[in-house]
Amino acid sequence: MSLLSKGFEVEMYTGTPEGETVGLSDKIVQALDGFVREPDSRNVEYTTAPFCAYDRLLCALLKPRQAMRSYIQTLGNYTIIPGSTMSLGGSDRFCRSDPNNPYHTYIEQTYGTDVVTASIHINVGIDDPELLMQACRLVRVEAPLYLALSASSPFIDGKVTGSHSSRWQMFPKTPQNVPLFESHGHFILWTEEQLAAGKMRNVRHLWSAVRPNGDRRPYNLNRLELRICDLVVDPLALLAITALLEARIMQMMANLNLDPLQQSNLSANDLQSELMALADANEMAAARHSLDAELRHWQDGRKIIARDWIKEIYDEVYPLAKKQGFSCFLSPLKKILRTGNTAQQWLKLHRQGMPIPQIIQQDIQAIAQQERDLNYAVCPPALIA
């Protein structure tokens, strides 16, 4: 079995070293290739090309970010701000990146700043549409685990929110009820029904934890898109989360019985509804408490702490990852499980008395230094010219 192709959509805030978000996306998009606007100008998105090898993925993550850092420095003393919500302020207003875009008008009027968040979307290539649907089913019921590892939004407007992922707590999942698609045909029919009913404005207007993706949705599909993760600014941590996702999908490909619609012994009356309700409740629990969240397992409904569930899967997939040669990229997960995700680390500092602005400012500096060090170590000049 060969490695799957993987790529990222990375949404990030721009602003000052003090942590104030500042809208620069219109300028960034005009000046740099590979960047696209979000409806609000304070965050900007770049997309990496799909690669199978993890070392190439690492450079693909770093290269655009370094280019953006260099460019925004020419505009003023600007930088990249960590976190998936506007930690220090600004959520009271929408800053349009393209005032003439009617879809952006719809987004602003319908959702307000609930959608002005930063996140990571992880895309994994799967060409067989039925295998893709099975992977989406499995990842849908385990998506809360990836949120638990990535949570990085415990603050909004200078206040502790009570959630480790305030982003996913408030994000307007659309449509409200998304099934575990039983087949490619089921996905096509369901999408056409949502569009006809106006529950989705277009084929991209499916905002759920995971979705099938491709060049001509819902008909031509070639990848799974995991959308639940908060922004993970540490590239090595992001690759570890991605390695867990890939190893789990590869495990499923080697064992086609690994399917919630086959292996779950929850209610036989309406398994779809039971699994949807379980997944949604687990997502909210993970958004609230991340690695410490008490979840229900999709196989039998038993209660399990997110951290313990991740350890179980890690131990299951590690031999497969080792055989395929990417187990070293899994290893940073152990540190996340031991020391906590970004949200937990920030909240610990806050409990120890550090003001929220200082926490954000400290991370802004640490991330910039880490990127410089990694870029120098792993991306030869010939690759980043």
Task: State both tokens at 278.
Answer: 């379980």
Residue 10: closest CA among 161, 200, 152: 152
Task: Report the C-alpha gap between 292 and 304 in whole angstroms.
Answer: 10
Strands (E), 182-228: 210-213, 223-226
Task: Report the C-alpha gap between 27 and 44 in whole angstroms.
Answer: 10
pLDDT tens readout for residues 91-142? 988 999 888 888 888 888 888 888 889 999 999 999 999 999 999 999 999 9
Residue 249: closest CA among 136, 83, 97, 171: 136
* 6-374: CATH architecture: 2-Layer Sandwich (3.30)
Kindly report the backbone phi and psi dihedral angles of residue 14, in degrees, each rounded to the nearest multiple of 5, phi listed first: -110, 155
Cβ-in-10-Å burial (0-12, 13-18, 19+) of 300 comes to exposed
Task: Report the C-alpha gap between 98 and 102 in whole angstroms.
Answer: 9
In this prediction the pTM is 0.96
pLDDT tens readout for residues 285-341? 999 999 999 999 999 999 999 999 999 999 999 999 999 999 999 999 999 999 999
Query: For the chain, what are the domain ranges?
Result: 6-374
Task: Report the C-alpha gap between 29 and 34 in whole angstroms.
Answer: 8
Q: Which pLDDT score, from 0 to 100, does residue 104 have? A: 87
